[in-house]
Structure 1
């Protein structure tokens, strides 16, 4: 059996991975207030996109292109809203 090595950007990330690995992948990190607000702000764009495809069309029959566009809509809206909610002086 070949050993796999993982590289982590920090001890915090390594610790989170270890907890998740021990728990069988079920660890969920509680979102911050801003992250929750950004999630809520995604809903109008998500609804608009789903409506453009057809509200009665099940997700299981979306084409690959439609799924990728859905992911793009959600992620773009989420990060745009999160960026708007984050003060400029927060160091990352």
Structure 2
């Protein structure tokens, strides 16, 4: 099973529904599993806020978001290219409010797909600890536009 937060392989962290006994017909198995304590705590923070808003315990209409980590921010920066490509396919002169549903979904799909792939790529790259005596591999998310120099014609004019 995959982690509910980051889609990595789950590693023994989970959530048990202890409201009802296993023999009670209202009891059902919950498949909320997580790869780490950090993901589990993030999920329960968001879930707790959602329940408090839903039950009216808090006088808010929105659920709080947790602050993104450096990895998540780097993944967001990596999505700028996908956003630009989707926007250029639609046309930059068209205001966002005039996008059709299909155009808006195209932009959202491009960004979400790129973000998910960047997070999975980072987690796969850091899944194993570095080997002692070997130089660490560079973080692929550290410089998101490093491979863009060949695609930037305006850069060549200034050289």
TM-score range (shorter-chain normalised) is 0.7 to 0.9
Secondary structure, aligned partner of 2:94: coil
Where does residue 127 of structure 2 map in the other structure?
88
| Equivalent residues, number | 81
Over 3 Å counting, the alpha-carbon distance change for 1:14 and 1:49 in structure 2 is closer
Q: How does 1:1-92 map to 2 (within 5 A)?
A: 9=32, 12=44, 13-18=46-51, 21=53, 22=58, 23-25=60-62, 27-86=64-123, 87-88=126-127
Higher helix share: 1
Higher radius of gyration, 1 or 2:
2
Gaps of 5+ in 1: 1-6
Structure 2 residue runs of 5 or longer lacking an equivalent are 1-29, 33-39, 129-159
Moved over 4 A (4+): none
Displacement of 1:26: 5.2
Instruction: Give the direction of change, closer, same or farther, for the CA distance of 1:14–1:52 in structure 2 (3 Å limit).
Output: closer
Contact 2:49–2:63 (Cα < 8 Å) also in 1 = no
Separation (CA, whole Å) in 1 of partners of 2:64 and 2:119: 22
Change (3 A) 1:28 1:39: same
Which structure exhibits the higher relative contact order, with contacts defined as CA atoms closer than 8 Å and separated by 6 or more residues?
1
Give the match's secondary structure for 2:73: helix
